[in-house]
Amino acid sequence: MKKEEVPQDAGNLSKSNMKELVYATDDKGNYTTALSSGWEPKSIALSNSIAEINERIEAAKAEVKAGQASPIVYYMELHKMDPQILASYVGIWKWRVKRHFRPKVFNRLSDKLLQKYADTFDITLDELKNFKAE
Amino acid sequence: METNFIHHQSAHCENGVASNLLRHNGFEISEPMIFGIGSGLFFVYIPFLQVNHAPAISYRPMPGTIFNKAAKRLGFKVKRVKFSSPKAAEKALDDNLKNNIPTGLQVGVYGLTYFPDEYRFHFNAHNCVVYGKTDTHYLVSDPVMETVTTLTHADMNKVRFAKGAFAPKGQMYYPISIPKQAALAPAIVKGIKETCRDMLAPVPIVGVKGIRTIAKKIPQWAKKLGNKKANHYLAQIVRMQEEIGTGGGGFRFIYAAFLQEASAILGNEKLRELSLEMTKIGDMWRDFAVNASRVYKNRSTQEDVYNTLSKEMLAIADREEIFFKKLKDVIKAY
């Protein structure tokens, strides 16, 4: 990549002051560094992933609303987690986390365990218990 | 308290932290040099491991290895400590700052509040330097940021004890002994030799062969999993390749910069020629990213686009195979 070809596309990030360093060659072919404000193919890839996450969040919300999933599923997706990551934060096995996705099981969980989930999601116990999918 | 640390922005976090910490200790070394000597160029595809709901692909080796290898080859010692309790971790860091030692940390990206939200995934192998502490904040030099930044004490605790794959466990590290004069030439040779060995490894998921394996998977994904999933996987490849920290083109440009520096140090003109070639390969990766992004943007449904992308990636693999064989031959003489 030549220095004058370093892309300066408008980024789609929430914090626009982010410029990253890339390596590029000058007119004599020597390597130097340059700052790039963004590159379209990369922004598209990132938006694609973000869109995918948002779809997952919406789907989880719908499932909670329909009584098919517990609020844990929604908050897990909201925090870009998967069952494995969530399990390691809460400090229990993955299969237990997956069991807690069932509303019936969720409703019987102790406050102590629910508090661990609430801490992981940075919400109160109340918010977790009384989550209403709207 | 604050140490007199000087922040330099770099492309990649681990090399950046390494070169910044060494420079702080009076050892001038560039980021590409650390990257090359630490055998930072790599490719691995782990089909059975999922990251962000897509197969795991990495253009770099395991976290920590670049710095460790560079340290070993240049003859300086790095002290690494992990902790089981956040309290002990905080105390050790504070003690270091009191003793005027800027300290490298392994942290989770998800809790880094100074990053844009879009960058905050559960990726635990990020690196930064803490160079001071105020009543409310830690002073942070994150090498991928243009300037220094801060984190609250609570946030710092969170990122140091992020959970999941590669959990940092509060890990901190700092050089403890640094030679006045390091022999760069033999370190460079060792670094290059290992990279050639890795990239030409006879393993279907590593190096050039790994690139081929994944290239062949692209049309299969579209056929078996549908276009939506295939596009998501493609986006994941592009993200890993162009993510902040790679310096562009899946680290190929940093490596080219390293080869150029190495050619001057070893007095070998052939390495400079190879550097030019690596730049071209980096450009090919960039072109691949452009074409892949077109596919998932237009949501084109022809079967052919996936085959075209697959062929493009196979062409890169062929080119890299030739490249690393040539590089191996050049470095054999040392």
Residue-wise DSSP of B100-154:
T--EEEEE-STT-TTS-GGG--S---EEEEEEEE-SSEEEEE-TTSSS-EEEEHH
Residue B47 or residue B282, greater confidence: B282
Residues 6+ positions from B11 with CB-CB distance below 8 Å: A20, A21, A22, A23, A33, B31, B144, B245, B246, B247, B248, B254
Say what the pLDDT of residue B227 is: 85
Here the tokens at position A94 are 């993955």
Are the beta carbons of A22 and B293 separated by less than 8 Å?
A: no
- Considering only CB atoms, A41 lies closest to which of B117, B279, B289, namely B289
Chain A nearest-CA residue for B164: A85
Question: Mind listing the pLDDT tens digit for each residue in A12-69?
Answer: 676 666 888 999 999 888 999 999 988 888 888 888 888 889 999 999 999 999 999 9
For residues B43-56, average pLDDT: 85
Q: Inspect the interface and report whether the beta carbons of A42 and B256 lie closer than 8 Å.
A: no
Contacts of B297 in chain A (CB under 8 A): 44
User: What predicted TM-score, i.e. pTM, was given to this entire model?
Assistant: 0.91
Class of domain B13-37+77-177: alpha beta
Query: Does B323 have pLDDT greater than 70?
Result: yes
Task: Look at residue B299 in the predicted model and tell me its pLDDT.
Answer: 61
Give per-residue pLDDT as tens, B17-38: 999 999 999 898 999 999 999 9
Domains of chain A: 3-38 (no CATH), 52-129 (1.10.260.40)
pLDDT of residue B288 exceeding 90, the answer is: yes
State the pLDDT at residue B60.
86
What gap in Å lies between CA B140 and CA B163, rounded to an integer? 21
Closest-approach residue (CA) in chain B for A45 = B235
Question: In terms of DSSP H, where are the helices of A30-70?
Answer: 40-65
Contacts of A62 (CB under 8 A, 6+ apart): A133
Helix (H, G, I), strand (E, B) or coil at B55: strand
Q: What is the mean pLDDT of residues B125-136?
A: 95
Instruction: Please give the residue of chain A at the shortest CA–CA distance from B252.
Output: A23
For A69-104, what is each residue's pLDDT tens digit? 999 999 999 999 999 999 999 999 999 999 999 999
As a whole number, mean pLDDT of residues B123-131 equals: 92
The label of the residue with tokens 């229990």 reads A92
B289 CB near a chain A CB, below 8 Å? yes
Is residue B204's pLDDT more than 90? yes
Mean pLDDT of chain B: 92
- Residue B301: predicted pLDDT: 60
Over residues B169-194, the mean pLDDT reads 92
Query: Which residues 204-223 on chain B approach chain A with CB closer than 8 angstroms?
Result: none
pLDDT(B324) > 90: yes
Residues of A near B (CB-CB distance < 8 A)?
1, 12-15, 17-25, 29-31, 33, 35-36, 39-42, 44-46, 48-50, 52, 56, 79-82, 84-85, 88-89
pLDDT of residue B294: 87
CB contact B242 to A (< 8 Å)? yes
Q: How confident is the model at residue B52 (pLDDT cuts 50, 70, 90)?
A: confident
CA dihedral B215, B220, B225, B229 (to 10 degrees): 20
Looking at beta carbons, which residues of chain B come within 8 Å of A31? 32, 253, 256-257, 260-261, 275
> Residues spanned by CATH 3.90.70.10 within chain B?
13-37+77-177
